[in-house]
Amino acid sequence: MPNPRLTILVVEDEAAIAETMVYALQTEGFAPLWKTTGRDALAALAAQPVALIVLDVGLPDMSGFDVCREIRRRGTTPVIFLTARSSEVDKIVGLELGADDYLAKPFSPRELTARVRAVLRRSNGASHGGKAPAAGWQHDEARCRISFCGNALDLTRNEYRLLGALLASPGRVFSRDQLMTAAWDDPGAALDRTVDAHVKTLRAKLRAVAPEEDPIETHRGLGYSLRET
């Protein structure tokens, strides 16, 4: 067997949703492991290696948020949340639980497996000591200069630092807080909107040199990432 099947822990109390996910993951070559409570999920995680956890927010015994906190205390296994309400998305972001992505119900099996693959790709890259720089980019750190598609960008200091942070980990989703910490000397004084405003001006400058590309991706409710290829 060329690749051992990766175990994906599915934590969801609604059988119909869980069965759809288990089937989709199996079809895609993963080894899904289904648990219906937070307690059973944590026990399974302690008992065997798990590549990724798909975690429902609303569980019968404890909230998915508490389960995620416990997962983070134990390690860095990637977590994709399943949410039923937009208020839950706000919480995932606001509480900074260390989730890697989320899916809003209802979602298609195809969406699920695409997200699972994307998160696994990102976390693999991270555990192998970073990635090759994304195509089209050059970062001359000594000169504090970033070029895109062969054009040096004329950036303000905050734009430079913000883009530098994204560029250091292509594909990684940064929360607004993380970008603020990376790019501002006094992050407490900046507002979330400040990050959005800088991303907007950055996009305009990137569009000016490469109208087709749009390499900064928005992850609604989570933050921003730089496209990997």
Contact 82, 54 (CB under 8 A): yes
Contact 136, 215 (CB under 8 A): yes
**Does 88 contact Ca ion by CB under 5 A?**
no
Q: Which is nearer to Ca ion, 111 or 154 (CB)?
A: 111
| Nearest distance, CB of residue 58 and Ca ion, angstroms | 4
**Which pair of structure tokens corresponds to residue 218?**
């928005």
For residue 228, what is the DSSP state? -
**Does 56 contact Ca ion by CB under 5 A?**
yes
**Does 13 contact Ca ion by CB under 5 A?**
yes
State the residue for tokens 């899904």. 32
**Does 58 contact Ca ion by CB under 5 A?**
yes
Closest-CB residue for Ca ion?
58
Contact 90, 220 (CB under 8 A): no
Q: Which is nearer to Ca ion, 12 or 228 (CB)?
A: 12
Cα 131 to Cα 77: distance, rounded to the nearest angstrom: 19
| Nearest distance, CB of residue 154 and Ca ion, angstroms | 49
| Nearest distance, CB of residue 106 and Ca ion, angstroms | 13
| Nearest distance, CB of residue 221 and Ca ion, angstroms | 19
Q: What sign does the CA torsion over 46, 48, 50, 54 have?
A: negative
Site string for Ca ion, 136-155 (x = CB under 5 A): --------------------
**Does 105 contact Ca ion by CB under 5 A?**
no
Q: Which is nearer to Ca ion, 13 or 177 (CB)?
A: 13
Cα 175 to Cα 79: distance, rounded to the nearest angstrom: 15
Three-state DSSP at 29 gives coil
| Nearest distance, CB of residue 12 and Ca ion, angstroms | 6
State the residue for tokens 């990997």. 228
| Chain residues that interact with Ca ion, rule: CB under 5 A | 13, 56, 58
